[in-house]
Structure 1
Amino acid sequence: MLPGPADTPPGPRLEAAVAAVAAPDVVFALSRDGQRTVRCGGTAPPPPVPRERLRYELGSASKAFTGLLLAELTRSGRLSGGEPAAALLDPRRRTDREPITLAHLITHTSGLPGLPRDFFRRALPAWHTNPYARYADERVVDAFLAYRQRRRPGTHWHYSNFGVAVLGHALAAATGVSWEELLTRHVLLPLHLDGVAPHPGPAGTDATGHRRDGTTPTPALDAGGFQAAGAVRGTPEDLLAFVEAHVRPSPTPLAAALHAVRRPVLRRGLGHRHVHTMGWFQHPTAYGPLYFHCGATLGQQAFLGFCPGTGTALVAACTRRFRARDTFVATAYGLLAEP
């Protein structure tokens, strides 16, 4: 964390945050009551396109977009969240007595493992390039339909990329529209997020990731059948607009859904200290709840977060994959948690 007095201007704080992260490219973008401050830097020479205009891979932070999509489809009456995912993906299938629902999938209470059992075997030949690309849409669906439940859905929390990937395919099956088109139509266009997309852009528009050594470049992410769990990338400006909409939902066309994804839906752990919403982790602060989600791909990391009580939204991205205990997440979280 980067402690500092509440009256410290955001510029120096962001500059200190950029300096604290040893990655080829680093961007911190903060909004306080609608006033934006962006600082960029990195250990590599500046790229041809300014860092603040590149699109960065969000990895698991993409789940905040899928959560909002489900909330909007629920608000509009297209879905309820209680639909059995297996029945949507295979209408001929007999529904289980206690089925895994769409709500279970987005809240990580489905009982599914983090990844399908055969994922690593299939991904291993491309482990250092694009492991997810070797696990296509139909493989995700088939693995889910073949999975035998070991826990009653809704009784156990276990973070699952597999589960949210299945959710994306179930939403597509329920509506007859691909997850990518659903996201574009119901989230990206209403919020005017032209710089956000669930796929790589034209050459020169996306940041290049790097492995843990900070020098070896990685190819652009191909999420394979896991799009809903990790395919989104975006420019800092549009990602900040996305998070700002959660701070002040009322002026947006997604106001009801944005309010819905702020409501706690699950409390777990000793004293119920761990709180989850439909797409966000929630922590308490002296200024009210703080919401955030982190993400990482083979060569990039991202952090999205907001604190309505202080009117603060934060986006951070870097082009290096750190180890589990890294300065990037701690620095970003510390900035968001400051008054």
Structure 2
Amino acid sequence: MTVARDRDLDGVLLPLLSVPQGATGMALAARHGDQEAFLVAGTTRHDPAPPITPDTRFEIGSTTKTFTALLLADMAHRGEVRYDDPVDRYLPPGWRLRQRAPVTLQHLATHTSGLPRFPLGIVVTALPTWYSNPYQGFGPQQVRTTLSRIRLRSTPGSRFRYSNLGVGLLGWLLAEAAHRPFEDLLAERVLHPLDLARTSSASTPQATGHWHGRPRPAFRIPGLPAAGALRSTARDLLRYLTAHLAPDDAPSTPLAQALTDVTRPRVLLPHDDGHLGLAWFHRTSADHDLLFHAGTTRGFTAFAGFSPQTHTALVSLVNTSAGSSRTFIQRSYDTLVALAARTGEDADRDRGDRPAKHVPVWDCK
């Protein structure tokens, strides 16, 4: 285990540092003010294997969506696209989307496009690999076919409906607008400026994922990379979250305005007391905000969250999915709440007096 450099942070994080059943390792990273902590446990796979470090790469699943949203915000700030641009303007040649009302880029980034959660027919076509790699056979041609056949489930802008297909489509549209492959565009505009050297969609090197204790192959999502293809590390993700905490403090950063735009509440969530920014789920307490997103693949679970007012951020990564993922995400969210509530010597009291609200994990991964 790596010992945290801040003993107060160490005390808040340690209860979370227990490797869930079926996993071999996990990594945590946190920031509170100007203090950082990294805690790790276990190994990258079963049998004799390298230990987990803050630089071990994990699949982060749907947390990728926050990177896609930041790319959208950057391109909007540059004037290359607009949030209210219709999807039709940037569809690749030969692609079309059946729609009665215009779907915009912002609709895709806020899950209000009316598109379903999964692509048309994915459950049937992916059934043979459902517990290992359900998206591996769903490529660009399948996206094109799905869009031409699918019907919107609701009027664009009228209802929140979490959609992997929607954010995956957003990645294609941004790439088309910039005339560059999505992965190259994301690296140039987001990953490189934020110095996220170990974050990419490359599947090696990385820890081995597990499903109920059994090793899983590396996750592949060739048709919808913008929705869940990234791998990252605890160190890179903490750097990524730190950039969101005070973007106005670094106006020279090319992403300063975009980092502000993604956190602005845009959509009221149903049956909840929160909002959605551009991909980020957003809750407000009496004196601070919490923004967060989770992600799972068939072998990994990830959580990333931050509170700008308290200058707090948390990353938690583990190499298992399946039944333990909801509990791990809930515990991670509760830990973020505890970190944001810390006020020096009152940390323990605050943690007890401010019970965490349960995050509805169904809608953020």
Structure 1 equivalent of residue 199 of structure 2: 196
The whole-number CA distance in structure 1 between the counterparts of 2:325 and 2:57 is 25
Change (3 A) 1:41 1:309: same
Structure 2 equivalent of residue 4 of structure 1: none
CA contact (8 A) 2:116 2:152 kept: no
Structure 1 equivalent of residue 220 of structure 2: 222
Say if 2:124 is the partner of 1:121: yes
Shift of 1:285: 2.3
- The amino acid across from 1:71 in the alignment is A
Shift of 1:172: 1.5
Structure 1 equivalent of residue 268 of structure 2: 267
CA contact (8 A) 2:25 2:52 kept: no
- The amino acid across from 1:295 in the alignment is G
Shift of 1:138: 2.1
Shift of 1:323: 2.0
The worse-fitting range, judged by mean Cα deviation, of 54-63 and 40-49 is 40-49
Q: Secondary structure at the match of 2:126?
A: helix
Structure 2 equivalent of residue 159 of structure 1: 162
Shift of 1:47: 3.4
Structure 2 equivalent of residue 102 of structure 1: 105
The whole-number CA distance in structure 1 between the counterparts of 2:19 and 2:320 is 13
The whole-number CA distance in structure 1 between the counterparts of 2:275 and 2:62 is 18
TM-score, length of structure 2 as denominator length: 0.84
Structure 2 equivalent of residue 329 of structure 1: 329
Change (3 A) 1:94 1:118: closer
Structure 2 equivalent of residue 255 of structure 1: 256
Change (3 A) 1:312 1:238: same
Structure 2 equivalent of residue 233 of structure 1: 231
The whole-number CA distance in structure 2 between the counterparts of 1:50 and 1:95 is 46
Shift of 1:65: 0.4
Aligned-residue sequence identity (percent) comes to 37
The worse-fitting range, judged by mean Cα deviation, of 174-183 and 289-298 is 174-183
CA contact (8 A) 1:144 1:166 kept: no
- The amino acid across from 1:265 in the alignment is R
TM-score, length of structure 1 as denominator length: 0.90
Change (3 A) 1:327 1:148: closer
Structure 2 equivalent of residue 281 of structure 1: 281
Q: Secondary structure at the match of 1:143?
A: helix
Shift of 1:173: 1.7
Shift of 1:273: 1.6
Structure 1 equivalent of residue 190 of structure 2: 187
The whole-number CA distance in structure 1 between the counterparts of 2:330 and 2:37 is 19
CA contact (8 A) 1:108 1:157 kept: yes
CA contact (8 A) 2:160 2:270 kept: no
CA contact (8 A) 1:18 1:42 kept: no
Instruction: Trace 1:20-169 onto structure 2 (pairs within 5 A).
Output: 21-22=20-21, 23-42=23-42, 47-48=49-50, 50-90=52-92, 98-169=101-172
- The amino acid across from 2:91 in the alignment is L
Give the length in aligned residue pairs: 327
- The amino acid across from 1:278 in the alignment is L
Q: CA RMSD in A?
A: 2.2
String of CA shifts for 1:14-51, please: whole Å, max 9, x gaps. Answer: 22211274432111110112321011114867831543
Shift of 1:195: 1.1
The whole-number CA distance in structure 2 between the counterparts of 1:182 and 1:325 is 31
Shift of 1:226: 1.5
The whole-number CA distance in structure 2 between the counterparts of 1:287 and 1:309 is 8
Shift of 1:91: 5.8
The whole-number CA distance in structure 2 between the counterparts of 1:287 and 1:232 is 33
Higher relative contact order (CA 8 A, sep 6+): 1
- The amino acid across from 1:15 in the alignment is L
String of CA shifts for 1:106-147, please: whole Å, max 9, x gaps. Answer: 110011111122111211122232111110022113211332
- The amino acid across from 1:229 in the alignment is A
Change (3 A) 1:142 1:86: farther
CA contact (8 A) 2:92 2:173 kept: no
String of CA shifts for 1:274-328, please: whole Å, max 9, x gaps. Answer: 3000010001223311000000000100000000111111110001114277331
Shift of 1:148: 2.5
Structure 1 equivalent of residue 319 of structure 2: 319
Q: Secondary structure at the match of 2:323?
A: coil
